[in-house]
Structure formats: structure tokens, C-alpha cells
Structure 1
Amino acid sequence: MPVFRLDRSLQFPPVELSDKSGLLAVGGDLSLPRLLLAYKEGIFPWYGEDDPILWWSPEPRLVLFPDALHISKSLGKRLRKKDFSVTMDTDFAGVLEACSTIRTERGEETWLLPEMRRAYQKLHDAGYAHSVETRDREGQLCGGLYGVSLGRVFFGESMFARVSDASKVALVHLVQQLDAWGFDLIDCQVQTDHLISMGAVTMGRRRFLSILKESLKHPTLKGPWRPDLQPDGIHRKRA
């Protein structure tokens, strides 16, 4: 399959034309309208420091149904200990920065380059991107995640933890809150053992896009988000 080069026009090629790795297109920009269009079509940007902007639509897709969350016994115990406090949309920039720097501190390449962080900050300022912050008992940011919300779908982007289980606690808080708000799906993008252990499953692109299309018919819950639940540590499985 060819990889398409984007120009200034606000459009993407059909996602079915992605190559085997999921790469669909190269170029374009990270403007707010283009990012919103990309997510609505099941596409997301992901590239390294020496790369042009790359746009992806993987097959299969890793997703998590909110009511299929799996909480292990050890994580449930950690939740009940209340070692962390959890907030939403109180330090989006801090979560972005931490998701980027924790990788460079480990000697890994980060895709959260300055221009990418600026783009997601604009999405946050417009009410579409959200963060979950986990803080220790001293109030220090020690874990969290961020992503984009459209309709009844949350597109998870990245997470970090400086303390064991801090990112998992953030994810549990997010998933249970989204479940209470009636969200249909969390897009986890690509497969990881960590997310599979918490209930994520792979899904074909066609089914993913079908669910996304229906979910986008509902209004987007724009930010800032304020949680009205506390994680209960209950092990949930989809019926």
C-alpha cells in the first residue's frame, strides 16, 4: 500500500489504505481542526524527533470497554489503602511533560516532542483533551495519563508513573468515571501487556470504526472534567 502525503487541504485518505504497520499518511500539520478530524476518523499522529508527522490507523486496534475493566487483587488492595489522591484536568501540562521526560530519563526516545505537546495543550484548552493526575500523600504528581474525548469515546494517548501503581490508579479512576458517564469505548491504540491485563482486547478496524461512528452521534463532554466517583476497587467483567 502507498503512504499518502498530506497537503494543506483538511482531509485524510480512507483508513483502509493504511499499510500493514498501520501507517496511513505523512505530513500535514497538528492544527486543532486536523487533529479533531483525525480522531473522528480513527487516525492519530505518532512520530519521532527526526521524522515528519506520521498518521496511523492500526489493524487490529486495542480497546477497553469501560464495563470490562479488570482490577487485580493487588491493585484493588492498593486502591483501598488510598495511598494516592486522584484529580482530573488540574495539571494537564504537568502530565504532558511527565509523559515525555520519564522516557528520556530512561534513555528512550519520546514522541511527545514540543510541537506535539503544544498541539495537545490546544486540544485541552478547547475542552477536548483531558488528564488524570495521581498524587502521593505529600501532594506530589507521581502518575497520570491523558487523552482526547469525542462523543462517547476516549482516545488514550500516554501515561506515566514515578511510583508503582500510580498510572494504574489513574486508569482505574478514569475508566470507572467514563463508565458512569455512559462512554462506549476507550481506544488504547496499540497492544500492550499492561493494558491487556486490565481488560483491554483487540478489535478489527471495521468494528472499531462502526462503534466510533455511532458514539460520535452523542455530544462531546468538554472540559474541564470534574470527577464525581471514587475508584471502588471492584473487579468488573463485561457480561
Structure 2
Amino acid sequence: MGLIEQPASLEAQSVSPRKAPAKGPNAERRAALFRETPLAVVRRWFVGTAWALRPKRIAMLLPVARVTFAHLLNPSRALPDTAALAPDAEIAGLITDLSPATLMDAYARGLFPHGHIRPLKWVCPPTRAVVRPADFHISSRLRGLMRQGCYRVTFDTDFEGVIVGCAAPRRRWLNLTWITPYIMAAYGRLFDEGHVHSFEVWNRDGELVGGGYGVAVGRVFVIESQFYRESNASKIGFAVLAWHLAKWGFVLVDNKWLTPATAHAGFREIPRSAYLGQLPEHWGEPVHPGRWQTEADIKTVAGSR
């Protein structure tokens, strides 16, 4: 078991169906969407604290206390040294800055942010779940669904709607999310700079019924989160994205943690050292800069091998 609750990435979370919000200028729309009521903030802190104090998880507070104490003794805005982490450590340090430059530097070092409540942490798991885009497995059942033509997939069309969907309450789980307004704003800035990309899945009624977003780090794509409002919608969307990532020259997709669903899709675990060793080789200028657009429809992807 990991030291923190694993965020929803390839194994998408289900949220209640609703119409996609009307679009408007980014700043105005984000101000309306990227917010929490005072009651929601209190509830998140209460539930987050209760979650951390569960008998099975209370021992996991020790790494948080350790990095917090170290930060108090020696406050620093520098990113943690992932090479110095203990073999089983996940939490590398505390976050003091989520500017675009800092976030991209963190991803280049194998770090990513996480935390339901403050302090937010830099995380670097002992193993990473990765797959080559060309090796992503689409099951026969999913291919059949894709050939039915019930959905349409777009890229970078409704980032705000996607990240709000990813942050929405989960079915069968505590209403607890790490995608807070602060995190939404940080990834919104990365989206504006062309580092974050979203995929959207629309049904025949024009409703946003699934999607996800991630960070392009050179030739590596790091999945952050996914959601669905109709069964298999996010799986269809990611299958289309994986096809494009392979076509555009990406060499690795990072889902962070391995789950049964990701293993079935072709992901495999590699040691942290192997993952960190590959990043310098693949880090560099974006291989597909600018806003992304689809170059193949769902049926074309379903028919590919």
C-alpha cells in the first residue's frame, strides 16, 4: 500500500451525469468553476484528517511529519533530490511553489504534487506504471464499443470542464479530492503555456461524458486524472489519445501507480531508478507543441493494431 491515496489517473472515477457548462472567457469561467465554498473547505479538511487518522493509515503520517520537520529546520524553495530518497519512500518534500516553471522542473525530476489538505507534498513513488503508447492494449470489447460511433473525442477543447469533472465527488468513495481550486489554477496555467493537455469525450447529445488531462514532459506523457459520466467513456478517450501519442513520437506514458485496470491495458511497473534514468533522455522541447487536435476518429483508432 502506498503512503498516500492514489489519485485517479487511468483508472477513472465516475461522477454523476450533467451537462457540460457553457463556455466563456477562460478567466471568467475559471473564476466560476475553480472555487470551493467555505463549507466545502471545512468538509475537505475534516474528511481528509479523518482519512489520515484511520488505523490502517495513521502510521503513514510519519513520512509527512519527517519532511515537515526537515522543512521547518531548513526552509527551502528548492525541489527535493529524488536520488536521495529511501527505497520505499514516496513523499519527497513539501511544496512551496506551484508556478509553471517549478511544476515542469518537478516533472522533469520525476516529482508530482499531491495532497488533500495542507501541506501539499512532492511525491515520487518507488515504482512507476508505464507503457509505450504503441503498446497500449485496447480490448476487443472496447474496440466494439468504439466502432458503434456513439461518441466523439476532442483534444484541448474543454480543459476547464475536464478538470472540474475529475475533481467531482466520486461514487463509492469518500467525497475527497486532491484536485482543489489551488491545483486547478496551477494546471490551468500549465494548460495556457501548452504543457498540459486534455481529452474530451462527447456523446450524441453533445454532453461531456468523459475525459482526462495530463502533462507532456518532452516525449513522456504523465496522466493526472480521468473521469467518466457514461461507462467506458474515459477508456475510449484515452485509447484515442494513446494512438495519437504514438503517432506524434511520444515514447512513454506514465500512470504513476499500477492497478488491475492499467495492467490489463499494458502498463507495467518499473523501479523509480529506471524511470528517473529515462527522463533526461526524453526530456527536451515539446514533440507536438501547441494545442492538440485529433488526426483520426474513434473508428479509425478502433481498427488499428
Secondary structure of the 1:145 match is: strand
| CA separation of 1:108 and 1:102: change in aligned 2, threshold 3 A | closer
1:27 pairs with 2:87: no
Farther off after superposition, 9-18 or 151-160: 9-18
- Are 1:47 and 1:53, in contact at CA under 8 Å, matched by a contact in 2? yes
- Are 1:70 and 1:235, in contact at CA under 8 Å, matched by a contact in 2? no
Q: Can you list the C-alpha shifts for 1:56-90, whole angstroms capped at 9, x where unaligned?
A: 11111111211111111110100111111000000
Higher helix share: 2
Counterpart position of 2:135:
68
Counterpart position of 1:53:
120
- What letter is aligned with 1:54? K
1:201 pairs with 2:268: yes
- Are 1:7 and 1:27, in contact at CA under 8 Å, matched by a contact in 2? no
Secondary structure of the 2:137 match is: coil
Equivalent of 2:302 in 214, 233, 239: 233
Q: Can you list the C-alpha shifts for 1:101-143, whole angstroms capped at 9, x where unaligned?
A: 1438954310000100000000000110000000100010000
Q: How does 1:6-155 map to 2 (within 5 A)?
A: 7=75, 9-18=77-86, 20-49=88-117, 51-103=118-170, 107-155=174-222
- Are 1:150 and 1:221, in contact at CA under 8 Å, matched by a contact in 2? no
| CA separation of 1:34 and 1:121: change in aligned 2, threshold 3 A | same
| CA separation of 1:218 and 1:126: change in aligned 2, threshold 3 A | closer
Give how far 1:176 is off: 0.4
List runs of 5+ in structure 2 lacking aligned partners.
1-62
Secondary structure of the 1:112 match is: coil
1:192 pairs with 2:288: no
Give how far 1:92 is off: 0.3
Identity of aligned residues (%): 34
Higher strand share: 1
- What letter is aligned with 1:56? V
| CA separation of 1:108 and 1:137: change in aligned 2, threshold 3 A | same
| CA separation of 1:226 and 1:7: change in aligned 2, threshold 3 A | farther
| CA separation of 1:228 and 1:77: change in aligned 2, threshold 3 A | same
- Are 2:95 and 2:113, in contact at CA under 8 Å, matched by a contact in 1? no
- Are 2:248 and 2:288, in contact at CA under 8 Å, matched by a contact in 1? no
Partners of 1:8 and 1:16 lie apart in 2 by 16
Counterpart position of 2:28:
none
Partners of 1:116 and 1:156 lie apart in 2 by 15
Counterpart position of 1:171:
238
Aligned residues: 235
Give how far 1:217 is off: 3.7
- What letter is aligned with 2:188? Q
Give how far 1:213 is off: 1.3
Give how far 1:13 is off: 2.0
Counterpart position of 1:181:
248
- Are 2:128 and 2:270, in contact at CA under 8 Å, matched by a contact in 1? yes
Partners of 1:194 and 1:16 lie apart in 2 by 31
| CA separation of 1:18 and 1:103: change in aligned 2, threshold 3 A | farther
Counterpart position of 2:52:
none
CA RMSD of aligned residues (A): 2.0
Secondary structure of the 1:63 match is: strand
Give how far 1:147 is off: 0.4
- Are 1:100 and 1:113, in contact at CA under 8 Å, matched by a contact in 2? yes
TM-score normalised by length of structure 2: 0.72
